[in-house]
Amino acid sequence: MDFDGSELGGAPSGTYGDRVRLDPAEHDPRSGAASLCAAGPVVPVLLPGGVPAWLVTRHQAGRAVLADSRFVKDIGAWRAWRSGEVPRSWPLAPLLTVANMTTATAGDHTRLRAPLARAFTARRVERLRPRVRELAGELLDGLVSLAKDRPGEPADLRAGYAHPLPIQVICELFGVPDSRRARLRSLCGALFGPPSEPSGALATHRELRAALAGLLGEKRERPGDDLTSALVAPGPDALSGAELVDTLLLMIVAGHETTVNLLGNAVHALLTHPAQLALARSGQVPWSAVAEEALRWDPPVANFPFRYALCDVDVAGRTIRAGDPVMLSYTAFGRDPRQHGPGAERFDITRTPTRHLSFGHGIHHCLGAPLARLEAAVALPALFERFPELALHDPGQPPPRRPSLVFNGFAELPVVLAPRGGRRQPPRPRTGS
């Protein structure tokens, strides 16, 4: 097969032969979730560059794959990668070749996860709550000033709140000094921005790795009370240099991007479902339920690559051959009526229990889940307390999504913080969440 991607052009997602073509430029990854789920539990797809794969679309099949040891994360098990059919310059390759726990299997996964699991404790995360409140308050103060100066005019809530809060929290948790934060934010934005040429994507990835290697060097010389210092501390199971860089890449870069999407997606869901927002603001439904329903209905990750079959495996009636790559569609999992009932397509914060796979399952369950939930529990009520009349700038025009096959979030989220001539609510201290 020709993997140069020229046959794909710029047309919208559709079929190519017997495969569904996945396009990272799709305006809304959710739009095809129901049709993908209806197409079957395991669907043959074609990825950018003409790379064939399997996409698991139903909750139970996804849970089964996540728990099945016959599917591994080692890229060496991918037949087309071993043979050279997929070039090393493929834009998704950096996600698949890093040396951290997302690409590790069995013993290696345990070894790579253990240092973070010890350092990333529930107690350490909970200690961050007052600081998350403080950071959220500072950002909201800035938005209050903006609303005062420009009443009724649009503001980008992603740029002013949903993005800076998680990156500041994760930088403080990992001890990233102020002098490094601006460049780190810039590189993260480039890495997850619009699709670029393979050479550009790889160059950004190399520069980001160099920046993280520099941070690790600083922490070896001057350790502090942060997770990066804990990772570089000598010990019997200390990680190698490349493993340390790739672990930071995972936790700082991917960790903050998913929380940005969680916050943005949750706010958009509430603003487009005012009755649901009223339930949360009145206290009839806890804000934790808002976060869980947003994770199900509009998850931060659209599709996650890859697991590779070690042998021929039957999954929900499909035979996945040894060496085949498998992706998991979290957007489709969340809309699966077999799991979530006939109203799966509805955003409903009263749904109980909220069962989703957006933080993974089994040994690959996300270590950062408690932090993401904490940030949502603080950030969402604080935002709507400060801006009770918050509204989308153009309710009839969906905000643009970031073009990504993997991540699911908005490129911007234009809102009106306070109506022109309206009364703004004064800042109020947070007393709980």
CA distance 234 to 50: 44
User: What Cα–Cα distance (Å) separates residue 341 from each residue in 40, 59, 190, 345, 346?
Assistant: 17, 12, 39, 9, 10
- For the chain, 433 residues long, give each residue's pLDDT as a single digit of tens: 333 333 322 223 344 457 888 877 665 666 677 778 788 999 999 998 899 999 999 999 999 999 999 999 999 999 999 999 999 988 888 888 877 777 777 667 777 777 777 767 778 888 899 999 999 999 999 999 998 888 888 999 999 999 999 999 989 888 999 888 888 878 876 766 555 555 666 788 788 889 999 999 999 999 998 888 988 887 767 788 888 888 888 887 777 889 999 999 999 999 999 999 999 999 999 999 999 999 999 999 999 989 999 999 999 999 999 999 999 999 999 999 999 998 999 999 999 877 899 998 877 788 888 999 999 999 999 999 999 999 999 999 999 998 888 889 999 999 999 865 544 444 444 333 3
* Domain 1-99+299-346 shares a fold with domain 104-276+359-373+387-433: no
Each as own residue / partner, the long-range contacts of residues 373-376 (CB below 8 Å, 24 or more positions apart, any chain) are 373/288, 373/291, 374/125, 374/126, 374/128, 374/129, 374/132, 375/132, 375/165, 375/166, 375/169, 375/259, 375/262, 375/263, 376/259, 376/262, 376/263, 376/266, 376/287, 376/288, 376/290, 376/291, 376/294
CATH 1.20.1250.20 at 104-276+359-373+387-433, yes or no: no
Measured from the Cβ of residue 165, the count of other Cβ atoms closer than 10 Å reads 25
Tokens 């270590």 locate to 367
DSSP string covering 65-124: HHH-TTEE--GGG-HHHHHTSS-TT-TTHHHHH--SGGG--HHHHHHHHHHHHHHS-HHH
DSSP for residue 4: S
From the list 418, 422, 291, 425, the residue with the least C-alpha distance to 358 is 291
pLDDT at 94: 82
**Domain boundaries 1-99+299-346, CATH class:** alpha beta
CA distance 273 to 196: 35
Q: Where are the domains of the chain?
A: 1-99+299-346, 104-276+359-373+387-433
**Burial classification of residue 258, based on how many CB atoms lie within 10 Å of its CB (0-12 exposed, 13-18 middle, 19 or more buried):** buried
